[in-house]
Amino acid sequence: MATEPVYEVKAVQFSYGAQRVLDRISFALNPGAFHGIVGPNGCGKTTLLDIMIGVKRPQAGLVRYQGKDIFSIPKRAFAREVALVPQDYRINFAFTVEEVVFMGRHPYMGRFSPPTPEDRQVVERVMERLGIAALRNKFITQLSGGERQRVVFARALAQDTGVILLDEATSNMDIYHTVDCLSLVKRAVSNEGKTAVATFHDLNSAALFCDNLFFMKHGRIVVHGSIEEVFTEEVISRVFGVECLVMDVDFAAAKQVVFRAGGIME
């Protein structure tokens, strides 16, 4: 039996003024998979995730979640289905770490009701799991970039959604926390049938954790397929303009890519 796509994006166009940023983007995402999006700076990755979470509206095209136009789904209900870990989370208010993680429970809480024991348990569990419980009373404005990313990641986990969108979510984390957080997402995908969509700068992290990969350039999808199919020297060189060598690495049980100094293609 064919699985229904969890997301369908059809002929999406988005421009900032006269600048076309997304050009006829179409794809369908199967559930229970980790989908990666890579591409040069400015190719439209963040804009695409913002459209998938509904904070930006495309000028043309459709975005469906489980068969429904996302803009027709009530916001609170949608927030129980899809969470976003944004690239650069900055707030001017001095919220504490614990308060930010509690924001993930807002879609479940009554407007003026205090958190339930379950809300508290979820918040406690994710803070412990991500090693930020000791930071609970610190202001988010006082954290390092990597610590702040773990807090925002925890907020998304507390939201307890079937789909998680990650925008360069580990870009400021050290390698321990990067491997830990992305492994956690990968396990949630393979063990609990969740769906993840993540943008990456680091191609090797994408190859290590994702099942499928999109390569974008100039607002278009250039190639989309399994890592086995699309993580090739030809595609990487064509999309990024660098010489590279792709290898099967036994230790990682994955394909990995290496570059060399001066290896820029004219």
Chain contacts with ligand ADP (rule: CB under 6 A)? 16, 21, 39, 41-47
Task: Give the E-state strand segments of 43-170 in sequence order.
Answer: 60-65, 68-69, 82-85, 163-167
CB atoms within 10 A of CB 225: 14
Nearer to ligand ADP, 50 or 98 (CB): 50
**Alpha carbon distance 249, 244 (integer Å):** 15
How far from chain centre, in Å, is Cα 143? 22
Shortest Å, Cβ 229 to ligand ADP: 22
Shortest Å, Cβ 24 to ligand ADP: 16
Is residue 242 a contact partner of residue 259, using CB atoms and an 8 Å limit?
Answer: yes
**Alpha carbon distance 38, 213 (integer Å):** 7
**Alpha carbon distance 55, 36 (integer Å):** 20
Shortest Å, Cβ 137 to ligand ADP: 33
Nearer to ligand ADP, 122 or 213 (CB): 213
**Alpha carbon distance 6, 110 (integer Å):** 28
Shortest Å, Cβ 241 to ligand ADP: 15
Nearer to ligand ADP, 30 or 172 (CB): 172
Shortest Å, Cβ 136 to ligand ADP: 31
Tell whether the torsion through CA atoms of 174, 85, 64 and 12 is positive or negative: negative
Nearer to ligand ADP, 101 or 152 (CB): 152
Shortest Å, Cβ 20 to ligand ADP: 9
Q: What is the DSSP letter of 70?
A: G
**Alpha carbon distance 154, 163 (integer Å):** 14
Strand partners, 196: 34, 164
Nearer to ligand ADP, 26 or 121 (CB): 26
Is residue 97 a contact partner of residue 135, using CB atoms and an 8 Å limit?
Answer: yes
